[in-house]
């Protein structure tokens, strides 16, 4: 999904929440797994989403619906297709960068989150913009003192994707079945298993 399509999807989701957001898309509660007659709307919360466009990281805002289960009294968030829990980058951006890292044998974490060797910067050049301060996905580029996407974010994203039930790859080309991950990508057996699980999900391999 292109950056413009991603932004359009976020805007469409906000309009849908305003228009008919009184019906929860879930039948069962993700907390207690019970099936109530209906869930109670518990407001929305604003989320900053980050989208890659050319050599920059662009910031856009959207909203996520919150619901309350009448059975267990717990609240939960419904995440649309473009969002992942606890992540500001959209699902499409995260999957795309993970695919880039796993599919290229000699690509490092830093290589995967750069464009021709240059970090992916944010348009805001202030040394300490409040919206990214202390965020674990960011770092300060040592050459420019500007905020940029951190390579350590990609490391954590791969771990997150490996734990998901289903991931739709962004690439349109037919990929081979998941095979062994290049030994250049890991130093422990635990990491190898995480990367191979992520690769299997990204390639839609159910074997």
189-202 helix and 151-162 helix, angle to the nearest 10 degrees: 70
Contact between 99 and 199 under an 8 Å Cβ cutoff? The reply is no
How far, CA to CA in Å, does 94 sit from each of 52, 167, 169?
Answer: 10, 11, 10
pLDDT at residue 3, rounded to an integer = 76
User: What residues pair up with 98 in beta bridges, in sequence order?
Assistant: none
Measured between alpha carbons, how far is 203 from 63 in angstroms, rounded to an integer? Answer: 30
The pLDDT tens digits of the residues spanning 40-69 come to 999 999 998 988 877 788 888 999 999 999
As to burial, measured by CB atoms within 10 angstroms (0-12 exposed, 13-18 middle, 19+ buried), residue 19 is exposed
How far, CA to CA in Å, does 67 sit from each of 15, 88, 178?
Answer: 18, 20, 37
The pLDDT tens digits of the residues spanning 113-146 come to 888 888 887 765 455 555 455 555 666 666 666 7
More confident residue, 207 or 66: 66
Contact between 159 and 194 under an 8 Å Cβ cutoff? The reply is yes
pLDDT at residue 207, rounded to an integer = 39
Mean pLDDT of the chain: 81
The pLDDT tens digits of the residues spanning 142-185 come to 666 677 888 888 999 999 888 875 444 444 443 344 457 888 89
Residues 12, 113, 159, CA angle at the centre, nearest 5°?
80
């Amino acid at each position: 999904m292109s950056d413009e399509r991603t932004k359009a999807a976020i805007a469409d989701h906000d309009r849908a929440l305003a228009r008919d957001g009184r019906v929860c898309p879930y039948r069962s509660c993700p907390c207690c797994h019970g099936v109530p007659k209906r869930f109670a709307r518990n407001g929305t919360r604003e989320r900053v989403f980050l989208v890659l466009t050319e050599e920059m990281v662009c910031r856009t805002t959207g909203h996520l619906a919150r619901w309350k289960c009448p059975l267990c009294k717990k609240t939960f968030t419904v995440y649309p297709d473009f969002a992942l829990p606890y992540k500001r980058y959209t699902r499409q951006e995260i999957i795309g960068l993970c695919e880039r890292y796993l599919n290229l044998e000699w690509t490092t974490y830093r290589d995967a989150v750069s464009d021709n060797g240059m970090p992916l910067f944010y348009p805001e050049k202030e040394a300490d913009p409040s919206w990214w301060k202390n965020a674990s996905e960011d770092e300060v580029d040592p050459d420019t003192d500007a905020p940029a996407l951190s390579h350590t974010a990609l490391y954590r994203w791969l771990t997150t994707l490996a734990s998901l039930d289903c991931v739709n790859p962004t690439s349109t080309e037919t990929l081979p079945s998941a095979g062994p991950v290049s030994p250049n990508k890991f130093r422990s057996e635990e990491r190898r298993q995480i990367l191979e699980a992520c690769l299997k999900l990204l390639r839609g391999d159910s074997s």
